[in-house]
Structure 1
Amino acid sequence: MKTSREIMEILEAYDLTGSYRAAAELAGCDHHTVARYVQLREAGQSPVAREHRARPIDEYLEKIEELVVRSGGRVRADVVHRRITAMGFTGGERTTRRAVAEVKQRFQAGQRRVFRPWITEPGLWLQWDWGEGPRIRGRRTSLWCAWLAWSRFRVVIPVWDKTMPTIVSCLDTTLRRLGGVPTYALTDNEKTVSIDHVARIAVRNPEIVEVGRHYGMTIRTCVPADPQTKGGSEATVRIAKADLVPTDANLLEEYRTFGDLEAACRGFCEQVNDRPHRETRRRPTEALAEERTRLHPLPGQAFTVAFGTTRRVNWDCTISVEGVRYSVPHRLVDTRVWARFHGDELVVTAVGEHGPAEVARHPRSTPGTPVIREEHYPPRENKDGDRTPSATSAEEAAFLALGPGAAAWLVEAAAAGARRIRPKMAEAVALAKLHPATEVDQALGTAAIAGRFAENDLIRILTHQSGRDQAAPTRAGEAHSLQPGTSAWSNFGLTAAVGDEGEEL
């Protein structure tokens, strides 16, 4: 077979000479070849089209087509080759692969899905989908990717999970960024949206239906396992993952904290919403300003599920979330609050007469490590109440009336396990009648500091303080020393020894 270039050179030579033989001499081929290509061109057929040659595999094409149709175009070429080899085919596997590829191409051409262009209307459709986000300290994250169809405005929010409170919180945040509510919202058939399918009809989760009613929006789902029915949000997921998830292609560094990922998502949204869209040639922020006039007004308060899961406040002013106790203001004792995790923080919300309000925010903790804040508890009138004596009888009141030294003596004596505390208290009251009460109180304070709680210790201290037993202090002079002398050694070795006969030895 001649190549396309050789065929065109043959035809050009014939147009130049007008003779088969002369053209054949110029082109370097047989004149019958020139005649055949010229006749094909005059008959309106393509001279460069290859003629089909009979192949040994042609008699097995019907079987190959049958296998391709039965498998929906998924059968492997090696499987087909084993089947037709058992039927007598002696060719190679490479020939079979080419034949299977041709049959699959014709099959897919007949089964190819044709889409009708979607002409969007302002204020009508919102789509959202989920994408797998980057890992932060080994923990998985997810990306909420929402897309307003007409203005092409995108919202990307990172989250830790895809529970119902998280979904409602992301939906509320998205609608408030848009500044209104569209008529429809389209998403996947996850259990938080569709709990079942009956006769290919999606059965909605009652809670998500209530969410839609709260915002005045109808939530719909795409055909199961058919992401092409919501291509706008799919494209948003693809673009967000390409720009936010660290890969070898974008050379992004890993995120150290969840706050870093939140900042990156905000920067991504500002970037894509502030540049002209390829389809509309307009910036999505400009188109959103126009579309807001067609959106429904937002309710003043978010749906309560957006605040998280409910928790009852215990009498110790704490709630339990994932086995960890977190404190809340004491005025909320025995009421219900809503708690949800936002990044690395726990946000506690209470709904009162004036609507929902955030009442506490704690860093995420682990079981066994409660998070308690002092400002959540009422101020204590006496923080040291267990160490401040309070009289319960006239005798106790008379003793404590002596002053702070008496109170200190009682506390220290009780802590030291002193015996006969009450008689000693009565003794101190009696001494206060003989001596000034201030001196007795001072003596009691000194006894408390020195730990002197034995019998008559108070009298000794009081006498010492009054100065009656104070003598002139004895001070050693320069000639006096406490070091023992050496006079004892003066007679050592000089003692006379007397023998048996009385003679000096």
Structure 2
Amino acid sequence: MDAYDLTGSLRDAGELAGCSHHTVKHYVERRAAGGALDRAAARPQLIDEYLPKVEEWVERSHGKVRADIAHEKLVALGYTGSERTTRRAVAQVKAAYRAGRVRVHRPWVAEPGMWLQYDYGDGPVVDGVKTVLFVAWLAWSRFRVVIPLRDKTMPSVFAALDQAFRRLGGVPTYVLTDNEKTVTVAHIAGIPVRNPQLVAFARHYSVTVHTCVPADPASKGGTESSVKISKADLVPKDTNLRGAYASFAELEAACVAFCEKVNTRPHRVTKRPPVAMLAEERARLHPVPTTPHTVAFGVTRQVPANTPMVTFESGQYSVPHTLLGQTVWVRTQGVGADEQVVVVHVGEDGPVEVARHRRATPGTPKIDDAHFPPQPEGPLERRPRPKNAAEAEFLDLGEGARLWLVEAAAAGTPRMRVKMTEALALAKLFDPVEVDWALGHAAVHGRFAEADLSSILDHHHGRGSRRPGGEHRALRASEDSSLTQGTSAWARLGAPVQASGTDEQVIA
């Protein structure tokens, strides 16, 4: 092309470029046509007359029909072309079908204090029970709140929403969620019918609850993405190397740590930490009511001042001892064998589930040991506590000394203080560890006489022969030897022996 622009002659340009002048003409005409000459000429194909039928199948299947199925149908209609041609035709028709039906998402610019979205995710298994992750997302600041729940019943959801409002420091104007039964009871002509209890809850907090279109998760993509991120970090998987949770409290602590991590780092879109943006958005939020909405939590019960037990329907159930003298709400959940009694306490941070028990029967209370503080020593669990220096020195020998003191006292052993002093004296002659072992041995076998302790020590200290390194080698019975004393000394009984100084024989 440079040669042609220089000479203006096809032949001269061909000579300079070392090619035929016909080749130069081809490139010159191609440049002049703007590349239109590169397009292949349209030729009639065997499938052209069948294209309307292919378009009909694509419409009926909403763009999902397979090319091999379409080819089989075309062959049945008399089509004689190849399957390759059919695949190309079906691909072109599908591309044209999708071109006019692509959902175009317009960026959502949220206003401060206007929208809160929440959704649920499958949580980890704790104590053999599958949990639920409640994930709330404040649209403008991108602040996230993740709360683990034991179920998705209405009281649990209301308690989680109250906690979310209190963590945010205010209530937004609108709340958007799915059409769960706790929110929408039915649809009439496409209009959702709200749950009356939810309406009362929303009226209490001065918030309006909206639901997205059924089966349309894209309408609340903020929480959908937050649920995915929360599950990837909190649910034990090979990708996060997180182990199983030992308790529900451990899962709650993990959720708090996760929220602190994601809310204090800069967001990908805003380039600012959500916690910093929440400080600005909080001025546009409505105040949280001082008293939470407690209608759905059950009936009230007063915890006694000295016994952390509440009575509900002829059964007694334990609650944490820190709630002594306070008011709790009790309700039942489930039916039959799965029925449970749930206890909720409303504190400064909102409603919190504090206990969950199986149904109790009259006279058989349901008690959780974790709800009670360490109990004082009873008559069966008394341990020695020294009252003076001598007793402390004796008990410092070890567990054997403590066991000896308990067992000797139970056996009514006389002169116990004298024997304790003798044990301390022996501890200065022998290794204190051996003395402690001997005291424990004496306690186990009930040997509390005067010389029993020294006898046990002598036997233990002198048994077995010493190895070259100075260590004791214990004697052990085997197939060839026994630890039983022999009878060779009995052979001298009745044998005559020579008396000393005389020739007189006596009978031994």
TM-score (norm 1): 0.60
The answer to whether structure 1 residue 60 and structure 2 residue 50 are counterparts is yes
Q: Deviations over 1:278-329 (max 9, x none)?
A: 21111100100000000000000111146x3447899x952269xx851479
| 1:71 counterpart = 2:61 | yes
Alignment of 1:325-344 (within 5 A): 325-327=316-318, 337-339=329-331
For the residues of structure 2 that align with 1:243 and 1:223, how far apart are their CA atoms? 29
Partner residue, 2:312: 319
Change (3 A) 1:264 1:99: farther
Distance 2:72 2:54 in 1: 11
Q: Give 3-state SS (helix, strand or coil) of 1:142's partner.
A: strand
Alignment equivalent of 1:130, drawn from 112, 120, 134: 120
Distance in 2 of aligned mates of 1:123 and 1:367: 46
Give, in angstroms, the shift of residue 178 of structure 1.
0.3
Letter in 2 for 1:265: C
Identity over the aligned pairs, expressed in percent? Answer: 55
Residue of structure 2 in register with 1:253 after alignment: 243
How far apart are the structure 1 equivalents of 2:244 and 2:3? 66
Matched, 1:229 2:222: no
- In 1: Cα distance, 2:168 partner to 2:154 partner: 21
Contact 1:301–1:356 (8 Å) recurs in 2: no
The reply to whether residue 140 of structure 1 matches residue 130 of structure 2 is: yes
Q: Confirm or deny: 8 A CA contact 2:163 2:350 kept in the other structure.
A: no
Bigger radius of gyration:
1
2:145 partner SS: strand
Please tell me the residue identity of whatever aligns with 2:139: A
Segments of structure 1 that go 5 or more residues without pairing to the other structure are: 1-10, 377-505
85-94 or 269-278: which moved more? 85-94
d(CA) in 2 for partners of 1:293, 1:124: 12
Q: CA deviation at 1:269?
A: 0.9
Please list the CA deviations of residues 52-74 of structure 1 after superposition, one character each: whole Å capped at 9, or x if unmatched. 55443333222111211222212
Q: 1:356 to 1:154 in 2, by over 3 A?
A: closer
- How many pairs are equivalent? 358
Q: C-alpha deviations, 1:426-476, integer Å up to 9, x for none?
A: xxxxxxxxxxxxxxxxxxxxxxxxxxxxxxxxxxxxxxxxxxxxxxxxxxx
CA change 1:233–1:39 in 2 (3 A) is same
Amino acid at match of 1:202: P
1:136 deviation in Å? 3.2
**Shift in alpha-carbon separation, 1:304–1:37, aligned structure 2, 3 A:** farther
Q: CA RMSD in A?
A: 4.3
With over 3 angstroms needed to count, the CA separation of the structure-2 counterparts of 1:137 and 1:337, relative to structure 1, is closer
Where 2:286 maps in the other structure, the secondary structure is coil
In the aligned structure 2, how far is the partner of 1:215 from the partner of 1:361?
Answer: 23
Instruction: Output the CA distance in 2 between the equivalents of 1:174 and 1:355.
Output: 13
Pick from 327, 332, 348: which aligns with 2:343?
A: 348
| Superposition deviation, residue 273 in structure 1 | 0.7
1:291 aligns with 2:286: no
Match of 2:125, SS state, is coil
Within a 5 Å distance, the mapping from 1:29-44 to structure 2 comes to 32=22, 35-44=25-34
Superposed displacement of residue 347, structure 1: 6.0
Deviation by residue 1:9-45 (Cα, 9 ceiling, x = unmatched): xx67866886656877999987656544542332234
Secondary structure class of the residue paired with 2:288: coil
Note closer, same or farther for the CA distance 1:157–1:121 as it changes in structure 2 (3 Å cut). same
Q: 1:241 aligns with which of 209, 222, 231?
A: 231
**1:150–1:359 CA distance, 2 compared to 1 (3 A):** closer
Deviations 1:151-192 (A, max 9, x none): 110111121211101110110011000000000000011111
Read off the aligned partner of 2:201 and give its amino acid letter: V
CA–CA distance in structure 2, aligned partners of residues 359 and 238 of structure 1 = 25
Name the SS for the 1:141 alignment partner: strand
Distance in 2 (alpha carbons) for counterparts of 1:205 and 1:91: 60
2:269 aligns to what? 279
Q: Secondary structure at the match of 2:47?
A: helix
Contact 1:168 1:305 in 2 (8 A): no
In 2, the alpha carbon distance for the partners of 1:140 and 1:359 equals 19
- Of 96, 99, 106, the residue aligned with 1:106 is 96
**Structure 1 pair 366–29 and aligned structure 2 pair: CA distance change class (3 A):** farther
